[in-house]
Structure 1
Amino acid sequence: FWSFLTDVFTNRQATRLFGAIAAGGSAGAIGGPAITGVLAQQLEPASLLPIAAVILACTLPCMWVLERFSDRSSEHGTTNQPLGGTLFEGVKAVLQSRYLLGICLFIWLYTTLATFLYFIQADIISNALDDSGDRTAMFAAIDLLTNTLTVGIQLFLTARFVQYFGLGRALSFVPLLVAAGFVVLVAAPMLLSIAAVQVIRRAGNYALAKPGREMLFTVVPRFEKYKSKNFIDTVVYRGSDAIAGWAYTGLTGLGLGISGISVVAIPLAVLWAVIGYRLGVSRQARATDTATPVSTAARRIP
């Protein structure tokens, strides 16, 4: 989906629209559980599956509209042309590009710190709340607050933040907040602290870091948008997640508690911020170097 959007929208359009587009996913994250909660009181669980299938099928006309839109807005009609070649071309491009390797490092640091916070959250909540129902309610409250805050930021602040401060500062903002959050956890590893850190971190990621990360791919060649990007989003992302889990286990095996692991995480968060800033600056330089006249159809995009 995001590969296709980086192929259709120009660099400037992505800056303006990707936050609002991402809000669609956040709205679904709120509406889906809410609809399920209401229907589950009226129907058997198995009866919810056909409803889910119908909702999923509604994505098909959306795909058709996007496909038609790409025909009108893409320059020279190249969007629908087959790429050819193999997946390994994308891997090779990643290994030969400092820019793509920087994105890999950015994602590795993000997934590592997110995994650390996930395990810290599990430890703190399990120690603070004995009842499984209370723990479930706490997780639900964190998710609800996160998704609600995310939608508001995506709709009203993401584009303005990137346009005013630049993508580099936007990509470094969330890592700096995470670094501050780990400082808080060093001093006070308690329930309120981890809840606040998780809400701020996740909302900031969905509203700023994720759309900003997708904007980075608007300035790369087309085959990298599909082949290299999907290698990064699968192998690098999930591989980093697994390695981070092993790393957390190793740190706890060395006797480090929540405060100790938070101390280790602080410099990683600062490095994450530096990488994010440099990627944003590099993306702007690439956009300036490769700037081409926008087609008439593209200019009409609101």
Structure 2
Amino acid sequence: MAHDQSTGGDPSPAHALLRRIVAIEPGEAIAATGSFITFALVLGGYYLIRPVRENFSAEATADQRQLWFLLVFLVMLAAVPLFGWLVARFSRALILPALYAVFVAIMLGFWIALRAGAGPQFSGAFFVFGSVFNLFVVSLFWILMSDLYDSAQAKRLYGFIAAGGTTGAVLGPFAARGLAPVVGQENLLLVSGLALLAAAALSIWLRRATQPATLAKDNVADAPPTLRSLLSGAERVVRDPYLLRIALYVLIANLLSTFFYLEQARLAGETILDATARVQFFAERDLITSVLTVLVQVALTGRIMSRLGIGAAAAVLPAFTLAGLGLYAAMPELHVVAAIMVAERVAAFALSNPATKVLYTAVGVDERYKAQNFIDTVVYRGGDALSGAVFNGLTKAMGWPLAAVAVASIPLAGAWLWIASRFDKALRERQDMAR
């Protein structure tokens, strides 16, 4: 359980201010604030390099992007069990700063390659690295949080700590947009590396400044994923209609959202010829997305889920996608696709993701852990890889125009919307079975 290294007495001004924002108890202010800042640095560092990754994607061909998505999927399959093996066998106090340092070293290598004028193969390697990077730095951060806070503290403090990540998601693209024309896109990697090193240093300080709680024996959800758990999760998803419904929702979401991602990358490469300007464009899009996500999370997410149900919250994303497919078919322009992607991402981060997480509360802890890990890794990235293959095949092998692909995708989006609309009923039935 996290406690500040302070004695009794009146709360400090910082503690008094925090209590106006979050249900924080005496002795928790320093740890909670440090956790908030650490997560802001982690996601801020990621969002600094994200526009660089998007720029490389815009410069690539459709075949290259398809190959890159496949490589991301394969690397994920190999890396997730390896990550679980490392976390299970080495001290968590050492793993986070050590792996963060490894990521920084890799970024430094990419920076050197960029400065030396590396060839096209560099772009693909950086795209794969950037796509996998986010999963692991965030996973490591939450492992740290599970060591510092017990379940009662987590219920009170995790919302505030997660807001630190959202803050980083706002400041990262804002900084990238302002710094890219001044220092150049390659130097954004150095800034991101510094942010990640600062997060690693803070993680060491947090462990020393707090008294870590012993994890509950039944807290299986915090255990790292392994190859065995992924295979077991796959079996459970296939056999359980409830879990299969969640998996189909996630698969279709990534299949269709990747269509817009690929189109945005193609149109940006054709429309914005200057690399720095493309970095600024992608950073501006990420900034708008993050700001709107915060506003929706604060003003609407709780109200929609409590009053209208999780089905309504989950249905917003497929509804936006349906409208977006029709709009794209009529106006296949860069800013139209970018606007569709912003709307989709806001709906996903603020509504769809929280709604699907609620669905897992109706299954057992072992099922939740294994099935959710499988869906969040293999199904999620598998949708990305499948999308590139399907849409590239339709346009190249079969010669379909992109507008026709969008129209043909509408029935799939309709099925996705129907799956979402049944979530409330499925959740009630599952809860009744558990009683």
TM-score (norm 1): 0.77
> Judging changes above 3 Å, is the alpha-carbon distance between structure 1 residues 48 and 139 closer, same or farther for their aligned structure 2 residues?
closer
| Alignment partner, residue 257 of structure 1 | 401
Q: Distance in 1 between matches of 2:191 and 2:277?
A: 28
| Alignment partner, residue 339 of structure 2 | 196
| Alignment partner, residue 320 of structure 2 | 177
Q: Distance in 2 between matches of 1:133 and 1:148?
A: 22
How far is 1:146 from its partner?
A: 0.7
> Judging changes above 3 Å, is the alpha-carbon distance between structure 1 residues 202 and 171 closer, same or farther for their aligned structure 2 residues?
same
How far is 1:173 from its partner?
A: 1.4
Rg larger for: 2
Q: Does 1:282 align with 2:426?
A: yes
Q: Does 1:149 align with 2:289?
A: no
> Judging changes above 3 Å, is the alpha-carbon distance between structure 1 residues 58 and 213 closer, same or farther for their aligned structure 2 residues?
farther
Do the aligned partners of 1:146 and 1:199 also contact (CA within 8 Å) in 2?
yes
How many pairs are equivalent? Answer: 279
> Judging changes above 3 Å, is the alpha-carbon distance between structure 1 residues 112 and 80 closer, same or farther for their aligned structure 2 residues?
closer
How far is 1:78 from its partner?
A: 3.1
Do the aligned partners of 2:314 and 2:356 also contact (CA within 8 Å) in 1?
yes
Q: Distance in 2 between matches of 1:199 and 1:166?
A: 23
Secondary structure of the structure 2 residue equivalent to 1:157: helix
Render the CA deviation track for 1:255-285: whole Å, top value 9, x for unaligned.
Answer: 2222111112211111111112223331233
Q: Does 1:207 align with 2:347?
A: no
> Judging changes above 3 Å, is the alpha-carbon distance between structure 1 residues 53 and 113 closer, same or farther for their aligned structure 2 residues?
same
How far is 1:20 from its partner?
A: 7.3
Render the CA deviation track for 1:166-213: whole Å, top value 9, x for unaligned.
Answer: 001111111011100110111111133112211111111111111112
Bigger RCO of structures 1 and 2 (CA < 8 A, at least 6 apart): 1
How far is 1:33 from its partner?
A: 4.4
Q: Distance in 2 between matches of 1:81 and 1:202?
A: 26
How far is 1:79 from its partner?
A: 2.4
Secondary structure of the structure 1 residue equivalent to 2:332: coil
Unaligned runs of 5+ in 1: 72-76, 292-302
Q: Does 1:31 align with 2:31?
A: no
Do the aligned partners of 1:94 and 1:228 also contact (CA within 8 Å) in 2?
yes
Q: Does 1:272 align with 2:420?
A: no
Residue identity matched to 1:243: L
Match of 2:304 among 161, 179, 183: 161
How far is 1:250 from its partner?
A: 0.3
> Judging changes above 3 Å, is the alpha-carbon distance between structure 1 residues 290 and 245 closer, same or farther for their aligned structure 2 residues?
same
> Judging changes above 3 Å, is the alpha-carbon distance between structure 1 residues 22 and 120 closer, same or farther for their aligned structure 2 residues?
farther
> Judging changes above 3 Å, is the alpha-carbon distance between structure 1 residues 19 and 98 closer, same or farther for their aligned structure 2 residues?
farther
Question: Pairwise mapping of residues 63-78 of structure 1 onto structure 2 (< 5 A)?
Answer: 68=213, 78=218
Residue identity matched to 2:238: L
Do the aligned partners of 1:19 and 1:158 also contact (CA within 8 Å) in 2?
no
Query: What's the RMSD between the two structures over aligned residues?
Result: 3.8
Q: Distance in 1 between matches of 2:264 and 2:200?
A: 32
Residue identity matched to 1:233: D
| Alignment partner, residue 247 of structure 2 | 104
Render the CA deviation track for 1:71-106: whole Å, top value 9, x for unaligned.
Answer: 5xxxxx7326998x9423322222210011111111
> Judging changes above 3 Å, is the alpha-carbon distance between structure 1 residues 9 and 117 closer, same or farther for their aligned structure 2 residues?
farther
Do the aligned partners of 1:90 and 1:227 also contact (CA within 8 Å) in 2?
yes
Render the CA deviation track for 1:121-158: whole Å, top value 9, x for unaligned.
Answer: 12222333333333322222211111110111112211
Residue identity matched to 2:261: Y
Do the aligned partners of 2:320 and 2:344 also contact (CA within 8 Å) in 1?
yes
